[in-house]
Amino acid sequence: MSTLLDLTPAAASEELARWLGARGQPAYRLTQLVPRLWQRPVATWAEATDLPQDLRRALDADWPLPRLELETSQESRDGTRKFLWRLPDGEAVESVLIPEGSRRTLCISSQAGCPLRCAFCATGTMGLLRNLEPWEIAGQVRELLLAPEPVKPTNVVFMGMGEPLLNWPAVDTALTLLNDPAALGIGARHVTVSTVGILPALAKLAKRPEQFRLAISLHAPTSATRLSLMPIEKRYRLPDVLKAIKAFKRRVTFEYVLISGVNDRDEDLAALARIAKDAGALVNLLPLHPGGAPGLVPAPGKRLAWFAGALRRRGVEAVARRSRGLDIAAACGQLRVARGEVGGEVPPDPDRHVHETAGIGELPDPADA
């Protein structure tokens, strides 16, 4: 499907300018059309009542605006809201809206499913189904603006289904759509890309001029332990990932899900402190979401708090988070898995697309990272 929503605002403006010119429309129409894509979105061009009816009909015929269909939504007692979106081809992805004071953080997906098969992630059980297009990624925000009670997220985190850096071309465009004032206009410091560390795309992200935030899904301080949890360690080794993040001029966050007896030992603490200090990273400690990790045991809450305190005593800024949305299966992938929509195969080439998520914890403000 060819859609203006897959284009950056600059590229969409060029397409529309040519289209309008071919129809003898005045140039000022462009300033009426472009804002209806993202700034003040419409579900269909028919809703843009400031335009002539004939023009609206032509736009709907030549440039229809695709939608994500809300199949189901759930709201937790703590205010966390989860959405299952049905895509035009029948696949489904999830996003989660997490309110925290004045912040509204939306956790978005970049792929349908995930081939990483990280030991603690529900999404990995379904394998990779396909990449999302730019409009399907940024559209998770757009749909909230089109809702009967519109909500605009203040923060966006790529911590949903899929590995964003293995869908880099689409994510690259989606980052522009999220940030560009002519589109959704969310500040770059309020957009966080979470990745296991896909080195080729990590280098491309580092070259972008905007100060998008980077979170590394670490989960272990050594290659050996990380490999037991995350098969991608075979392809992109931890020492190489740590070297690559030095190209980022902004502070990096390490995501670390604390798993009892696996990565919460005293020796893990010492090793994590060393690499976090060397990287100048914030460590975001997350409790293991119980529904997303069969066979693994969450570290007790007291251990989580102690672990965070011990890191701080070693000169590392660390934050212990609490689980959110436990009563609505808010770990990414759990809602779809619970509905029986699992399957898909891991592609033989691990370069093709990968990611994991740990489940939804209380997320930090990316502006503080």
Rounded CA-CA distance 229/248 in Å is 26
Which contacts of 294-302 are long-range, i.e. CB under 8 A and separated by 24 or more positions? 295/119, 296/119, 296/120, 296/259, 296/260, 296/262, 297/259, 297/260, 297/261, 298/258, 298/259, 298/260, 299/258, 299/259, 299/260, 299/264, 300/260
Rounded CA-CA distance 254/100 in Å is 21
Are 341 and 335 spatial neighbours (Cβ–Cβ below 8 Å)? Answer: no
332 a catalytic residue: yes
The CB-side HSE value for 170 (13 A sphere, CA atoms) comes to: 22
Rounded CA-CA distance 152/366 in Å is 16
114 a catalytic residue: no
Kindly name the residue from 317, 332, 341, 362 that is annotated as catalytic: 332
| Beta-strand relationship, 213-217 and 191-195 | parallel
Query: What phi and psi values does residue 36 have, to the nearest 5 degrees?
Result: -80, -5
C-alpha angle 19/42/150, rounded to 5°? 155
Please list the active-site residues. 94, 332
